[in-house]
A = this chain, B = another copy of it.
Amino acid sequence: MIIDKLDSPVEGSLMPTPGGRFYTDPQIFALEQEHIFEKTWNCAVRSADIAEAGSWKVVQVGREQLIVSRNRRGEVRAFYNVCRHRGMRVCTQESGSGRTFQCGYHAWTYDLDGKLVAAPNLTRMPDVDRDQYGLRAVAVREWLGYVWVCLADEPPSFTETVLGEVVTRLGDVHHLDNYRIEELALGHRINYDVAANWKLIIENFQECYHCATIHPELTNVLPEFAEGWASQAFVNHGAEFGEGIDGFTVDGAAGVGTLPTIAPDQDRRYYAITIRPNVFVNMVPDHVIMMRMVPVSAERTIVECDWLFVPEVVESGTDVSASVELFDRVNRQDFDACEKTQPSMSSAVYADGGVLVPAEHHIGIFHDWVRDKIGSGPSADG
């Protein structure tokens, strides 16, 4: 594989990036919220966080706050967190559980499928259709141990879009299935508040031309990253551990034990997938790192990062800090770079954008995807 990469056309031209306005304009951000985050599948909540019937969690998707919950039949449900009477937030905590959803203002009460089941004087208001005035539902789906939601009235095919991204990267979704992510347990979670546009974070994740400069620990474990080629520039390429590296840890020491179901050629390798718009999946032999982005404004993004291990590791209290610390450092290095890039996006020098070197050209596919979603043309690319 490394041989293949050295054969790659690193010689080549520079490609232009979008102009700086792409990363600062509130109108472009609003278009992205409307046409990307509110129209595609977003990874929203860890399934285990709403394991029991009646448990729920509140999350932000696009510009909307949703309640993601589980009904008595064990099915996940997601609703806008807006009472249909006068609009108060129905759930006012981050998470909780109960047999119904009752609005705290006038006690309009909905069952776990969102249907209006009670309200003061409701029996004397015969024209109130209890389904019509139920909580407004959105499309929902479980996969990889997470609840995915889509606000669109007619959601795109999950297979073609979400799974399609995996196929594009790995060639076949079975390469991902091997990790049995849905069976893993949460070992650690960190939320990062990043003062940068969400697209800078995706661009950063997709290229490794910066790895030699800012990621000493990562390039120690994965020496090929120092050459500047990201795994994501190739189909099903996993960056190989260096000689003497025993695990994907901050110092290359052994991790917590290889996942029993991965293929032999997945051992001693790091794979990464970007599932647009808001998910990064990082797979290493003994754990998986799931990252979800929640854009807050054109210049701010929340990134939630979960480190997942086999349940026995988590339940036994095994020390996973050396594993967590490696990617936590990588995250902080990356987000620091994004935060120091954001301010320049409004400079006159960057009005027409910068350039992508050959090892970054595949980022252009992402730029085209965004432009296509929000409507192409000069208004969108500065």
Which positions in A face B, CB cutoff 8 Å?
10-14, 17, 20, 38, 63-65, 80-89, 92, 104-107, 119-121, 124-128, 133, 136, 151, 203, 209-210, 212-214, 228, 337, 340-341, 343-350, 353-359
Contact = CB atoms under 8 A, between A and B. Distances in A.
Nearest to A9: B124
B105 A214 contact: yes
A34 to B, nearest CB: 9
A194 B212 CA distance: 43
A13 B127 contact: yes
10 contacts: A14-B127, A85-B354, A85-B355, A85-B357, A87-B353, A89-B341, A89-B344, A107-B212, A120-B213, A133-B355
A92 B337 CA distance: 10
Q: Chain B CB within 10 Å — which of A63, A82, A86 has the most? A: A86
Contact of A359 (B107, B121, B128, B348): B121
A80 B349 contact: yes
Nearest to A138: B349
B357 A214 contact: no
Given A124-B10, A357-B125, A213 B105 contact: yes
A347 B86 contact: no
Contacts of A346: 63
A87 B345 contact: yes
Given A127-B14, A354-B86, A81 B344 contact: yes
Contacts of A344: 65, 81-83, 87-89
A87 B121 contact: no
Contact of A82 (B14, B349, B356): B349
Contacts of A356: 86
Nearest to A350: B87
B86 A17 contact: yes
A322 B278 CA distance: 53
B213 A104 contact: yes
A349 B126 CA distance: 23
Given A14-B128, A17-B87, A65-B343, 4 more contacts: A11-B124, A64-B349, A82-B344, A107-B213
